[in-house]
Structure 1
Amino acid sequence: MEKEKIFNEELKLKFLSEYESEKTRSIYNYLFLKSGDLEDVMNIDLSQFNLKQIEKLLKEIKPLTINVARSNGRIISAYINWAVKVGIRNNPNPLKEVGNEWFDQFVDKESKLYLSSEDIDGLEKQLVNAQDAVILYLIFEGVFGEALSELLNLSINDIDFDNNVLFLQDDFSNKRELKVTSQCIRIIRQAMSEKEYHGRNGEGRTVKLVDNEFIIRSADTRSTSPGKANRHLVYRRITTVSEHFDYPYLTAKSIQKSGMIKMGRDLFIKHGTLGKDQLYEIAKRFNVNTIKVKEYEYYNSTLLSSFVNLENINDLYGSDF
């Protein structure tokens, strides 16, 4: 496969040299890689694009979120403004005539594989049931386990509310502690206090919930056990959210991977890199299975980096992450 190239690379490197932050240069460079094909076809540098050409480029990039769509616009605008300032563009910047909302039209909603933390927060605000929202938050922050057992085993007695710590246990008696956000604790409290569940996010029938100590609780019917819920209940609730909000790729695994990407973003901001050490830290929090070879045991960092990478971070969080 031919490697992506930067069109008119010398000029763009001159522009990038004005930014001290390596992170900023890396993000801007990523967009220049994406614009290269169209620039090459038209034999015009991005600095000379008119509004219709910019529109065509943004459609081809297919940003997955509004944040990224607007971030792309800011990067293109910054490059064109620079070109005007240094005298290599005679016409004014066409993006000065449009507002932030203009970029929203280019979001590719059909291809959204992962969710940002802002997406999770946005969904929570639209969910009628905290019992649905708590599933998203717990998985996003690292609670999972074989067959979702950490999630399903979590009870009121397993939570240190003062320190935001969960004491997790899977079905194989493996135990660990996990510190979560105050937002997650807030949703847990709401889910605990719910007595009823409103089907289809308020559009279906309302049923009573089983009264027990577990955070995830099933409907109180003759056919349900008074004990913990099963994983199929979680899958059904995620499917309901997926269908109601038109997120066709929303699954327990995609939520988990989204949380890992968010942690990758945070670690990149903290350390300025996203290497093996950071990937191992993510794997440990999300309790990823290790590979055992003879006396050695390690995480598959290559597999992790296939989705926990700067490309996906930029797609979800834009250049301001």
Structure 2
Amino acid sequence: MFLLSDTSDISACRSRVATIGFFDGVHRGHRYLIEQVREVAAVRGLASSVVTFPIHPRKVMKPDYRPDLLTTRDEKVALLAETGIDCCIMLDFTQEVARLSARQFMAILKERYRIAALVIGYDHRFGHNRSEGFDDYVHYGKELGMEVLLARVYSYMRGGRESGAEGTVSSSAIRRLLLAGNVSEAAEYLGYDFFLNGTVVSGYQVGRKIGFPTANLHLNDPDKLVPADGVYAVRVSIGGTEYGGMLSIGYRPTFNNGANRSIEVHIFDFDADIYQQPMRISFVRFMRPELKFDTVEALVARIRRDEKEIRAVLSC
């Protein structure tokens, strides 16, 4: 069983090597850390695992906080499974957990989840005041019978040069890139194209009237980050088949759409009724910002140009 939770019976499971974190996005830095966990587990003959949380810890402390997630809970679990880790421990982060000291939390990892070795990321801290560091964790580990190891620092080579060492590839940096529309560079840091999952819902039907029917996406999770407004080259997955498409995010200013932000995609070479069906949109490239046109004819002319340019991008 890959996914374990607080209610799972793991008393009979073998001891584990683990690392812990929220792992939003499961980006290249996360995967480098997880690979080290797998290496340690293989040497010691133990299972490899990741301890993570279903809800962003800050949202537990501040319910009105919006985390702008790179991945939803289910998306994160699926990406973690792809790393080859033996299991994912989903630990409910509650107010009570937040009040635990680092030693108390480590004791839970040892006793409840049979974690024999803990691999700590270079910047990771836990415990209610986060004032303790790696040396403290090593000390507590010795008291508890848990080996504590410091992970190697990750450095990412981009464009033939080192982009920097520790902290360069981070979830917060990727969020900033996406909120600026820079989906191409975000994909380099993630190791895959950023994507949105949701359900196709009814829209204003304007696209169909001007010759470019669109599918409107309703997100599965309202906390999922949506990239900057604009037009993008995307790939669209429906029913196991992938299509090219052009996506528009924004407020449709030519039609005075008001405050209703929409995510709508025109799928190339596709004509089927997909309302209420699940759809995934993967971002390939930002093409242009959202624009307001003086006439519908001017908008249509620009959409035709967008389609030509996006088809060329997707054929590369």
Q: Same fold (TM over 0.5)?
A: no
Higher RCO (C-alpha 8 Å, min separation 6): 1
Hey, which of these two has a bigger chunk of helix by percent? 1
Hey, which of these two has a bigger chunk of strand by percent? 2
TM-score normalised per structure 1: 0.27
